[in-house]
Structure formats: structure tokens, C-alpha cells
Amino acid sequence: MRLTMAQALVKFLDNQYVCFDGKETKFVDGIFGIFGHGCVVGIGQALEQGGHSLTYYQGHNEQGMAHAAIAFAKQNNRRKIIPCTSSIGPGALNMVTACGTATANRIPLLVLPGDTFACRQPDPVLQQVEQPHSYSTTSNDAFRAVCKYWDRIERPEQLMTACINAMRVLTDAADTGAVCIAMPQDVEAEAFDYPDYFLQKRVWYMDRRVPSEREIEAACEMIKNAEKPMLIVGGGVTYSDSYKSVLAFAEKYNIPIGETQAGKGQIPYAHPLNMGGCGVTGGAAANAIAKKTDLVIAVGTRLTDFTTCSKWGFQNPDVKMLSINVCSFDAFKMDSTAVIADAGAAVEAIMAKLDGYKSKWTDEIAEAKTSFDAEITRCYNAPAVDGVLSQMRALGIINEVIADDSIVIGSSGSLPGCLQRIWKSKAPYTYHVEYGFSCMGYEICGALGAKLAAPDKEVYSMVGDGSFLMLHSELYTAVQENKKINIMLFDNSGWGCIENLQNGQGTDTFGTRFTRRTESGFLDGEVIYTDYAKIAEGYGCKAYRITTDKELYEALEDAKAQTVPTLFDIKVAHKSMTDGYDSWWRVGVAEVSESERVHECYEDMKANIEKARLY
């Protein structure tokens, strides 16, 4: 079939399917795009021409639309995607950050940036960055560092191998992430006689990787020799739909569960074995258990510094690590004994071999759970400060009022910490926090993506004022697409979590509050208060201004009846977020300082490094 490269790309994408546990679904739902001279007459023409079933979604910031696409894929458990296309230069480069988000979180994202002319005859063209040391280098080479697969189509027939390799990575549970196929604007329009077999329906099988017999025997031996094992449930449990198997495993052997951000919500909060969030943004229950455990069974987690408290959280000198992960790169972290397999397949294989085992945990599990339940209740009832809601109280009210199957979105600032510690998830796939990259600006764009993935669910974006200011472009897209999302904007007039970090390491507040510059030359003037509700109203959203319990309760109920996006401008008290609950995070503290407090923090850091594992 004689087609332009862009027309063949659209037809190819429209015919890709995935099969997971025998269920076949269409993989590519549509295409996000912001058209410019580098794509509008290429892939834009192909989309306009028709002959495909892909929905075109109009983005309003390239990073924003790509983050929405990531959230769409995440909410669909990585079995559906929305590729993103842009023009060359600045439009393309705006997507680099989102590619970092996708790759860090192991979420499939296909970006299709326009590129400069392969023929080079009109060079330098509008928005082209020229490099004297290499004319073959373009802006799109910036994607290489944040993508799992990168390609540039310099001849139309190259599209075929590029697309096959792109799909190979996008559907690989172990190696997925961002994929970039750069499209020179002349090649997009060039024609080639593409073979029918390239354009026909293609099914990619996302089979569960089963563990080897040796791996299962090794895992069983480690568990038998452990007295107080602990499970850490990560994103691999979420994406493989394995939470029922993992919970059965925990129940059978009486093993307490700690959650990562990507794994939270799969095990109901109320379950007696669920200790809640683990690590730097975790709670007192899971962190207390982590300090005593002699075997960490990490299931589907990358064991990041936030989960392990910078390798400090496991204080038992005899602790060992057993890691179940489909990705070998992750499975060997922290000197783990590795089971390289699907989470569900692995725990079921272990249960089939591990008879007669029970952990020696006794009352510690219930005591830790009960104690932290009381702490969450205290947080949910935290009093107002100077007539303004505390952040913890606001979250408690929201958790109480919204429907159990509502989806909550978060990504950066203090809110992910509060959510992982005190949010009570009541149904699977309702806790959607991007914390692999903790990318400011994901929250509102992500809410749109989650709503596109789950149009029958209410979606609540938990976002700070700092992230809102950074990126909320796709709120306009939500209005345009008639997708009702709820933006819960917590306004504490600054970057509160970074101020806490700054103060906690001995430095006075500097550059982290939103204040006016004074004659002193510093940003030490009055706090700037912004009417964010008015911004949302300008977009056509329903907006609420919240300072009290009563106003928040009433607004939440009223919002349920709205059909347009809503924004809650919630003014929260300064420093009213949750505590750290006996965790430690390693950051670089100044070795030399005129401040005695900084010096004390440096010495404290050295002492904690001595308690942490080296790798």
C-alpha cells in the first residue's frame, strides 16, 4: 500500500493489540497532539485524512499532554496508551521531562516529535538548533537519556523496524518506559510501498513470566529460615493484577505488609496485615515493622531511597533481602536474592512449595496497626490554625466524603507523603500517585489521563499551589473534552515540603515561601495570597473557596452534582502536614557552615550513614 510515512504510522498504530491473561484489548486509544510546522502537514494530515479509529486529543502544553498520556497508561495498568506528537524544537523538548517521568515509573509512553529536514537542504529551519560539531545532532537527541528506545526515521522504509522495536519496548513488563520516534518533517510526507503484513492487526502477548524451580527453592529456603519476614508491595503487584495472590500469601504465613507509592491501595487499608506506607513517606506502623524484620520480601518494587529510608530503614543486623521482580535490573538491588518473575506467578509458586510455615510475629502487628490508626485519627482531627484548615484535616474530610471507588492523583510536594501515610484506600486502582520521578505538574494533567481511562469514576487531583503554578494546561483540555475532574488545590503559599527539608537540615527558610521582594533585596516580605478559584472560573470550571471544615464538606457534596471540572481553592495552614514517623532520608548536608545547627545536622547524617546498608 503506497502511503506517506506518517499515514503508515497512523495505520500501524491503529492495528496494535495486547493480550494479557487471555484478554485481548486495543493498545492505542488515540493521539495527543499540538500541531506546528514540524508535524501538522505530516502526521496531522494523516490523522485528518481518516481511515483509522484513533481519537485526536488536543493538548495545550506538550509536557502536560504527555503526562496525561502517562496517567492514562498507568490507570489502564499499562495495557493502553495514547501516543503524543509535537512540532520540532521547543515543542519536542517540552516532552523530555514527561519521558523521564514515564521511564522512571516504568510506564509506556510513545512520543512522536517532529524533527528537522533529513535532506538538510532548507537548513537552518525555524526552531532548529544547529550543532557545529555534528550536523546529525538535533534537539531530539535530548530524548536519548530518558527513553528506553530511541529512533529517528530518515527514510520512510525505516518506519517498519522502528515501529516493531517501539512496540517491543512499550509492551515489555520488564523494560517498558518512554519510547521516542523522531520524525523529520520532510520524511513524514514521503511515500513508500508498505507491505500489507506490516499494516495488518498485530497482537502483542504480555505473558506472565514464571519463576524457575531453582529460584522458588531458594525463596522458600530463605522464608523458612526467617522468623519475622515483611512484605513490601510495589507497583509490580499493581500492574500484574496480583494483589489477591499477594494478600493470600501474607494471610497464609502471617506476614505484615508495607506499601510503596506505586503499590498502595491494592491491599485494603483496613486489612489487619496492612501496615500502610513504608519508608520516608511511610507511617509509624510499617516503619516500626521494617526495623525489626529479618527478611524483606520485596514484590515488584525498585527499592528506592524513599521506600528503604536510604537503605537505613531495616535495622535488624541479620536482615536479608528477597526480591521478586520481572525486571532483573531491579531484582538484584540491595544485594537481594532474586526471583525474576511476575509477582503473582512467583508468590503462587512459593505457596505451592512452602507448607507448614508461619512467621513468629505475635502481637507486634496488631499493636503497630492499632497505634497508627489512632495517629491517623489524630491527624484527621487536627485543629485549625488561625482559622485556617490544617492539611491533614482537609485530607481526612475528603477521604470521608468522596466515593470509595474515586481515584486520587498526586505526584509532588508534601501531599504524596500525607497520602501515603494517612490516606485510607478502600478499593484497588483508586490510589494513583506518581512518585518515581515526583514530577511537579503531573497532578492536573494526570487527572485528565485517569479520567480518560476511567470515565465512570470521579477523579480527585491532590495538588499544591507550587505544582499548580508550574503546569495546569490540561485543565483546559478537560473542559474541552467535557471530562469532569476535581482539582483539590492545597494552598500553603510556598513549597512546603522543601521548606521543611531545608529547616530540618539546619537552614532557615530561604526561597521556599511565596513572598514579595522587599527593599532589603530579599524575598522576605508579605506572603502573596492568590485567588486560584478565579483562575479556574476563567477556564469555565466550577470553583470553591475553602477555609473551614463546613465549607469543604458543603463543596464536596455540591461538586458531586457538577458536570464540568471543579477546583477547590483550599487555604491550608503553614506547616500543617504529617510528620516523618521515625524515618531518615539521606540528602547532602553542608560539611562546612557558620551555623551550629547545620553542623549538628551534618554530624547526624554521618551517624545515620553508619547505620545504613552500603548497597
Residue 614: the pLDDT is 86
Average pLDDT over residues 454-464: 98
E runs forming strands in 108-244? 109-115, 149-152, 178-184, 191-193, 202-205, 229-233
Average pLDDT over residues 405-415: 97
Residue 347: the pLDDT is 98
Band (pLDDT 50/70/90 cuts) for residue 386 is confident
CATH node for 381-493+529-571: 3.40.50.970
| pLDDT reading at 165 higher than 90 | yes
Distances (CA, A) of 27 to 77, 109, 183: 11, 12, 21
**256-269 pLDDT, tens per residue?**
999 999 999 999 99
Cα(96)–Cα(103) distance, integer angstroms: 11
Cα(230)–Cα(609) distance, integer angstroms: 23
Band (pLDDT 50/70/90 cuts) for residue 584 is very high
**Higher pLDDT among residues 529 and 182, named by residue:** 182
Do 381-493+529-571 and 2-205 have the same topology in CATH?
A: yes
450-471 in b/e form (b: 16+ CB < 10 A) is bbbbbeebbbbbbbbbbbbebb
Average pLDDT over residues 606-611: 94
Cα(126)–Cα(228) distance, integer angstroms: 63
CB 513 within 8 A of CB 505: no
Q: Which residue has the cell 481515584?
A: 407
Residue 615: the pLDDT is 84
Map residue 604 onto helix, strand or coil. Answer: helix
Class level of CATH domain 2-205: alpha beta
Q: Which of 435, 420, 235 is nearest to 326 (CA)?
A: 235
Average pLDDT over residues 274-284: 97
CB 85 within 8 A of CB 154: no
Fold of 213-368: Rossmann fold (3.40.50)
23-36 in b/e form (b: 16+ CB < 10 A) is eeeebbbbbbbbbb
E runs forming strands in 78-161? 84-86, 109-115, 149-152
Q: Which of 476, 358, 407, 403 is nearest to 64 (CA)?
A: 476
What phi and psi, each to the nearest 5 degrees, are found at residue 131? -115, 115
Strand ranges of the sheet holding 202-205, from the earlier edge strand across to the other edge: 23-26, 16-20, 202-205
Helix, strand, coil tally for the chain in percent (to 5): 40, 20, 40
Average pLDDT over residues 473-485: 97
Exposed / middle / buried, residue 273 (Cβ in 10 Å: 0-12, 13-18, 19+): middle
What type of residue is 466?
Answer: G
**90-121 pLDDT, tens per residue?**
999 999 999 999 999 999 999 999 999 999 99
Residue 397: the pLDDT is 98
Residue 270: the pLDDT is 95
- Domain assignments of the chain as residue spans, ordered by start: 2-205, 213-368, 381-493+529-571
Axis-axis angle for helices 343-353, 213-224 (nearest 10): 60
**519-544 pLDDT, tens per residue?**
999 999 999 999 999 999 999 999 99
Axis-axis angle for helices 442-453, 62-75 (nearest 10): 50
Q: Which of 92, 88, 58, 91 is nearest to 185 (CA)?
A: 88
| pLDDT reading at 559 higher than 90 | yes
**285-316 pLDDT, tens per residue?**
999 999 999 999 999 999 999 999 999 999 99
| pLDDT reading at 171 higher than 90 | yes
Q: Regarding beta strands 407-410 and 459-464, do their DSSP bridges make them parallel or antiparallel, or are they unpaired?
A: parallel
What phi and psi, each to the nearest 5 degrees, are found at residue 412? -145, 170
**245-255 pLDDT, tens per residue?**
999 999 999 99
